Chain A
Amino acid sequence: MTEERHQGVVFSEAVLSEDGVDLDVDRRKAILAAEARLGQNHWEVLGLEWNAPVEQVKAAYLDAAKIYHPDRYGGRKLGSYRGRLERVFRRMTEARETLADETRRAAYARSTAPATEFARMEARKLEDERRSLERRARLARQNPLVARASRVGELAARGKEAFQAGDFARAANDLQVAQSLDPGNPELASLASEAKRRAAAKKASEHYDKALTAETMGTLGLALSEYRAALDADPRHVRAAAAGARVAVAQGDHVVARELAQAAVRAAPAMAMAHEALGMVLEAQGDKKEARRALEKALELDPRLDTVKERLRKLRWGILG
């Protein structure tokens, strides 16, 4: 079987040359390419950029309907393409339902923000930090007291010492100041950022431990603020985010809960725990359909999650015998 590539889609020669179908090869390819995109997100299904405005969504849907609605092929033999067209059109309608509604579109845009978009936000944050460090360094150069202590070697040595001793917070502090005085030193830069990362992780895990204790003691308010502090210190702390979401739901604060759950999914899209937390939050918010979807995703990632199974069961209805 020879296969050719078209818009990044692999076509099956057998389907492409199916007999008794009144469609030319270009149309067949367009339909098959659309079918191959069905598993992608709503934006991609409609061929849109992430976060495209409602007007564009509607226009794209109308254009797509003209190509993929089965009625456009009345009186023609379609073979297996009839089913394909219907599937494509249904999926596009589903995408339109969400994206043509302002509120649902905004929520969906947040949950589907691409990695590049996050990278851009992160980059902006780093840039801000770099500027503030520069400013501090400028001030430091003008301050004779600090200027004396600003010999880089001294600071770097002290920082490394603290790093060895496991005092990452102090190490990060010294190394960063040293680095700001000698920005061209790559060894200092990587050491400083490693120290910073470890300091954050340590801080996060301290907050996380405190939060766990607080939650066990039943002081949910404290637990929630500690979980959030942990997450602030280390945005990749999935367990803190998930547990925080759980506590926020218990406290009835759905906005915070959803924020935390979404943070968890972003931090670790491949961890069942994150999806479970999101599902739980959505369920509490009454969005059963989305909740089911999130829980099913969790179960897909980890089929042994009995709590998820139980929860899913509750979301389904019984049939009268």
Chain B
Amino acid sequence: MSDQEPVIGIDLGTTNSVVATVRDGVPRVIPNRNGQPLTPSIVAIAKNGKRLVGALAKRQAITNAENTVHAAKRLIGRRWGSKEVEDARKVLPYTLRAGPDGNDVRVELAGRSYSIPEMSAMVLAELKADAEAWFGRPVTKAVITVPAYFNDGQRHATKDAGRIAGLEVLRIINEPTSAALAYGFGKQVERKVVVFDLGGGTFDVSILDIGKSVYDVVGVGGDTYLGGEDFDRRVIDWLTFGFAKENGGIDLRGDKMALQRLRDAAEKGKVELSAVSSAAVHLPFLMGGGEGKPALHLDRQLSREQLEELTKDLVDRCIAVTERTLKDAGVRPAQVGEVILVGGMTRMPRVQRAVKEYFGREPCRGVHPEEVVALGAAIQGHALTAPQAGSEVLLLDVTPQNLGIMVVGGYFQTIIGRNTTVPTSETHLFTTVQDNQTSVRIAVLQGASDRAVDNELLGEFVLEGIRPARRGEVEIEVSFDISADGIVGVSARDVSTGQQQSITVTATSGLTEDEMKRILDEQIDELLEKKQTTREFDLRKQRTQTTLEEIEALRPAVQEALERTRFGKDAVQKAEGVLARVKQAMDARDAAALSEQEESLERTLQLFKGLAGAGRGQGGR
């Protein structure tokens, strides 16, 4: 099994991401190069033009808010002008623009514009690199998770992000399903399981019927705009209103840096309150006074009761969505054999209490809410690549939303209903509505509304060459087909002439093939550039290493000399500073910083040589 190319599972979260794999039959999380299981899903372009990902990007977010992208997941696969994007523009500190086709969303960072998949790709590439460091070999195959409620466009955009990051995405699977896979791994489970997933940005609930190692998804529901960040925002609002009251109506939200500090403090306080009953929010010098005015500080105490009061309606909304999902699937709460909590927000005691009250049972405590999704993705990746049926797991996933076409009057006619097990296919017959109509436009849509305009347009095509006839006489057969990996194919056929047209639906928002090619080319350029700088660094490192060794060799003599004379102490102290900077540059593999220090290092060597020589001279005298 060890010669098998490694497969990774990635939980690409709104706030944090996790990578995992199955090794020796055991699913495990791969720590990042800082030794942490969680990598913040944050990307930034630093002041010096360097690209930062993860904890490094998060650390500098306060001072560089407009060039730091967080929560890119909320934008992926969304259209410019959609409600989601408009809402995000109001709260996000970085600049969003329309893409070249006016449909796509772009992020403006340090004077360059990036597509959202490119931003997600940066996080994925970081995780890929972490996995490669852990395995000590290249990794290309991955399963990536998305919220169950993601539509086709969002899934495609996530897949594109994987491609940009140099990953072959074996499958996009739903986060709650993935969590259930991890929950059931290595156990004999024969029951209905509900996964309650309240993450940073989205809320998902899924019902699975598990039996004979087959994970059969029987119901999916959720709210794409309900998550931990909404809880944070309640705390931020509470803090800013309090602050305004105390300081004569100053609105902190106008100050990007203050807002970023507030955001961090609110999240930290919220997390603390899961363990303790009261948390202090202390933000000194939140507003620079300037012009003779004193600086303003924020200092408040937030209790657990207050937090629960502020967010009560959000918890209620979670339960309402859960209730609806169970009802749709025809499952009563009492029939549920286990409730699995996923996502950092489910650590909140109030959320756990609400779940317990609704289901009348204690939720399962055996899974790690932040790591379980990535572990499940790793298990699915393993099941999809394991050469023999050694791994028994089989996942039967469903379509998350109704799929259909637009019909007369602008209505939406469902062809494949939501919660249908994939792979699946369905055929419907339609007729023309005008006399001598020779072509029909087939608009393929996805969504819950009866009206076509309220649903997501996945693609469209025209069937031409229809036999001219009275309206209603020509029959057109429209077939939908969803393959096991969720690719939607649609074809239309004129029953009498046999004239046929078909498309494979790819995201209409997101990236075109040309753009994709350009990005991938750029990616290669960047890799080449990286290789170039690596070569340059290696060369410099070699030279520096020799110098350093010479210096170290001289150290005992220098030490000896210093003990005998008062001279040179200052110079040696400065030299130690230089040595520390050189070592730092070596650790960071920063060729530029290394070259900056080259001259100083040379001077240090000369200094040491001089001192050692002097010491020897004195000793000899």
Chain A residues in contact with chain B, CB under 8 A?
A: 58-59, 62-63, 65-66, 69-72, 74-76, 86, 89-90, 93, 312-313, 316-321
Query: Quick check: is B138 within 8 A (CB to CB) of the other chain?
Result: no
**Chain A contacts for B432, CB-based, 8 A:** 318-319, 321
Whether A70 and B423, one on each chain, are in contact in the complex, defined by CB atoms closer than 8 angstroms, is yes
Known contacts A62-B214, A320-B407, A320-B441; is-contact A71 B395 (Cβ 8 Å)? yes
Whether B211 and A66, one on each chain, are in contact in the complex, defined by CB atoms closer than 8 angstroms, is no
Whether A65 and B396, one on each chain, are in contact in the complex, defined by CB atoms closer than 8 angstroms, is yes
Known contacts A59-B212, A319-B405, A319-B430; is-contact A65 B385 (Cβ 8 Å)? no
Whether A72 and B440, one on each chain, are in contact in the complex, defined by CB atoms closer than 8 angstroms, is no
**Chain A contacts for B407, CB-based, 8 A:** 317-320
**Among B170, B387, B421: residue with most chain A CB under 10 A:** B421
Whether B431 and A319, one on each chain, are in contact in the complex, defined by CB atoms closer than 8 angstroms, is yes
Number of inter-chain CB pairs below 8 Å: 99
Whether B484 and A86, one on each chain, are in contact in the complex, defined by CB atoms closer than 8 angstroms, is yes
Alpha-carbon distance A8/B472, docked complex (angstroms): 44
Known contacts A74-B384, A317-B407, A321-B434; is-contact A93 B428 (Cβ 8 Å)? no
State which residues 383-398 of B face A: CB under 8 Å.
Answer: 383-387, 389, 392, 394-396
Which of B394, B406, B413, B440 contacts A71, CB < 8 Å?
Answer: B394
State which residues 323-355 of B face A: CB under 8 Å.
Answer: none
The majority secondary structure among interface residues of chain B is strand
Query: Quick check: is B475 within 8 A (CB to CB) of the other chain?
Result: yes
**Chain A contacts for B410, CB-based, 8 A:** 320
Whether A319 and B484, one on each chain, are in contact in the complex, defined by CB atoms closer than 8 angstroms, is no
Q: Give 23 CB contacts A-B under 8 Å.
A: A62-B216, A65-B394, A66-B214, A66-B392, A70-B484, A71-B484, A72-B389, A74-B384, A74-B385, A86-B423, A89-B423, A313-B431, A313-B472, A316-B428, A316-B475, A317-B428, A318-B407, A319-B433, A320-B440, A320-B441, A320-B443, A321-B433, A321-B440
Query: Quick check: is B278 within 8 A (CB to CB) of the other chain?
Result: no
Given contacts A65-B394, A313-B472, A320-B409, could you give 9 more A-B pairs where the C-beta distance is less than 8 Å? A59-B212, A62-B214, A75-B384, A75-B385, A93-B424, A316-B430, A317-B431, A319-B431, A320-B408
Alpha-carbon distance A63/B170, docked complex (angstroms): 24
**Chain B contacts for A316, CB-based, 8 A:** 428-431, 475
The majority secondary structure among interface residues of chain A is helix
Whether B389 and A320, one on each chain, are in contact in the complex, defined by CB atoms closer than 8 angstroms, is no
State which residues 564-618 of B face A: CB under 8 Å.
Answer: none
Alpha-carbon distance A42/B389, docked complex (angstroms): 27
Alpha-carbon distance A316/B409, docked complex (angstroms): 15
**Chain B contacts for A318, CB-based, 8 A:** 407-408, 430-433, 471-472
**Chain B contacts for A89, CB-based, 8 A:** 423
State which residues 114-166 of B face A: CB under 8 Å.
Answer: none
The 9 A-B residue pairs with the shortest CB-CB distance in the complex, in nearest-first order: A74-B384, A318-B433, A316-B429, A318-B408, A319-B430, A62-B214, A62-B212, A319-B440, A70-B484
Alpha-carbon distance A312/B209, docked complex (angstroms): 37
Alpha-carbon distance A99/B426, docked complex (angstroms): 18
In the assembled complex, the CB of A206 is this many whole angstroms from the nearest CB of chain B, namely 43
**Chain B contacts for A86, CB-based, 8 A:** 423, 483-484
